[in-house]
Amino acid sequence: MSKKSFATLGIESSCDETGVGLYSSDRGLLAHKLFSQVDLHAEYGGVVPELASRDHIQRTLPLIRETLKVSNIKLEELTGIAYTAGPGLSGALLVGGSIAQSLAWGLGIPALGVHHMEGHLLAPLLDSSKPQFPFVALLVSGGHTLLVEVDGIGEYKILGQSLDDAVGEAFDKTAKILGLGYPGGPALAHLATRGEEGRFYFPRPMIDRPGLDFSFSGLKTFARNTYIKFPEEKASIAKAFEVAATETLTVKCRRALEQTGFATLIVAGGVSANLTLRQTIDEMAKKLNVNVHYPGPEFCTDNGAMIALAGHYRLISGQRNDHYEILVKPRWNLEELEAI
């Protein structure tokens, strides 16, 4: 590596995935490794915070070693360490934060706590065809549904958000009602491919009202009531739910694009892996002549690469944690971030 290059290690531990990534200023993403705790939490039907923290403790260092090895980079060559400081489960965040801060201290390099949703928001920039600022971002994960006006890195204005369940949470809860495993989103999407479109019609929450906020908690109740009446029609119920959720998201994206006049949309976070959502958004964007960017499939759900990237931009602009305090922010508003 040349002397002037930067190599940022990223650590993600906000929920049920341990992710590590390594981003270099001259060669881009060098490697990333992930360990999913899905099997650990499956028997409880959801994430058990204490088990998540304990597992992150076991996984993080081996994943860091593997990532460095695949990248052919030595620990001493790192120039900064980024970790997810929030939002997320506090115990889980503390694991990543402690490891990042201790390593940085030992190596004499800066550490920086980054915002998990900024990681998702910037994940499409890992792609070779990068979206250009400004753009509208739809962030759809298990904990958040946000429509954001993005004028640059750290220049975020929240245009709309869910007033109750996040859309990923609605997928997971509806999947649970239908007796599908955890995590439910991908399982529900899979079942929906066998459903009959139009067999049931679910409401599109809040699209008849002005504004860009969402509400998804009613959809799962609708799913439950339909399932009680038609228990043999799971696949068509899954389909009706998926179509209603994705059309609602698409209508609000269209409104946000019209309102801002922006010509670029990015869609990121776990639910952006959903193919029905991508199809519906692509059709809308084509009509509006808008470019849409999605992260690659492995960068939609939680991963360390997006944290390495977000941390990299901030670290090279001089941002870092002030001192050796292990900073975590389980609740953290995206709009509070500093611009770079």
Chain residues binding ligand KG4 by CB under 6 A are 15, 141-143, 168-169, 171-172, 183-186, 189, 269-271, 273-274, 301-302
Instruction: Tell me the per-residue interface mask from 123 to 162 with Zn ion, x by CB under 5 A, - otherwise.
Output: ------------------x---------------------
189 binds, options Zn ion, ligand KG4, none, Cβ within 5 to 8 A by partner type = ligand KG4
Q: How far is the CB of 204 from Zn ion (least distance, A)?
A: 25
Q: Which residues pair with 161 in a beta bridge?
A: 146
311 binds, options ligand KG4, Zn ion, none, Cβ within 5 to 8 A by partner type = none
Q: How far is the CB of 135 from ligand KG4 (least distance, A)?
A: 19
User: From the list 302, 304, 326, 332, which residue makes contact with Zn ion (rule: CB under 5 A)?
Assistant: 302
Residue 289 DSSP one-character state: T
Q: How far is the CB of 170 from ligand KG4 (least distance, A)?
A: 8
Q: How far is the CB of 302 from ligand KG4 (least distance, A)?
A: 4
Cα distance between residue 167 and residue 308, in whole Å? 26
* CB contact burial 246-277 (16+ within 10 A = b; e otherwise): bbbbbbbbbbbbeebebebbbbbbbbbbbebb
| CB-nearer residue toward ligand KG4: 80 or 269 | 269
| CB-nearer residue toward ligand KG4: 10 or 183 | 183
Backbone phi and psi for residue 151, each to the nearest 5 degrees, phi listed first: -100, -10
Cα distance between residue 233 and residue 226, in whole Å? 9
Find, among 306, 317, 302, 326, the residue nearest to 111 by Cα: 326
Residue identified by tokens 């030992």 is 106
Q: Six-digit token pair at 83?
A: 């970790």
In the complex, which residues of this chain contact Zn ion (CB under 5 A)? 141, 302
